[in-house]
Amino acid sequence: MEPYSRGSWVKNVTHCKFWLYVCRVGKEKPPKFIAGIMISRKASTFIRLLYESYRRNYRPWDWDYNCARVAYQLYLQRPDLLHVEPYKFTTPDWKERDKLWKQVIDWKDLYVIHVMGHFSYDSSTPDSIKMINSTFGEAMRFIYYGSPKLINS
């Protein structure tokens, strides 16, 4: 089930209101942003500046330096370049991942769920998600089968 390895779209983002901002990123606990989900229009100044930070000062040993902490510092310098989404890109966040794997939260207003599969060591399949009673299970059933309800096979 590779499609959910980084994030799974649960809401259509093609409507006009969503694109009022040139670039959107999810709020993380300061001093950084959630690095797994950034959306922008083509030629976004913020994304260009972030990309340049990789070219000038890439730190491969520090996984969230460029993508999360530098992004946050850029925002502090130029808040006009970015809209920070406080909830709909970041729930549950990495500290609340039990809400994804062991609980069921109301996820229907979220634009995307950052699955963080690298934390779960999950080996779910389209068949096994039919009976997983969690936020992850509901979202995957919605994507695969059109309904979040448990499926008794």
Average pLDDT of the chain to the nearest whole number? 82
Amino acid (one-letter) located at 72? Y
- Please report, rounded to a whole number, the percentage of residues in the chain having pLDDT higher than 70: 82
The per-residue DSSP string of 95-113 comes to GGTHHHHTS----TT-SEE
Assessment of whether the complete model's pTM goes beyond 0.85: no
75 Cβ contact partners less than 8 Å away, ≥ 6 residues apart: 25, 33, 46, 81, 82, 84
CA distance 22 to 149: 36
SS3 83: strand
Q: Tell me the pLDDT tens digit for each residue of 14-52.
A: 655 556 678 888 887 777 887 777 888 888 999 999 999
**Which tokens belong to 16?**
């006009």
Amino acid at 71: A
How far, in Å, CA of 3 to CA of 61, rounded?
26
Token readout for 126 is 């389209």
**Would you list the domain boundaries of the chain?**
2-9+89-145, 16-85
DSSP 94: G
Give me the phi and psi of 18, to 5 degrees please.
-60, -35
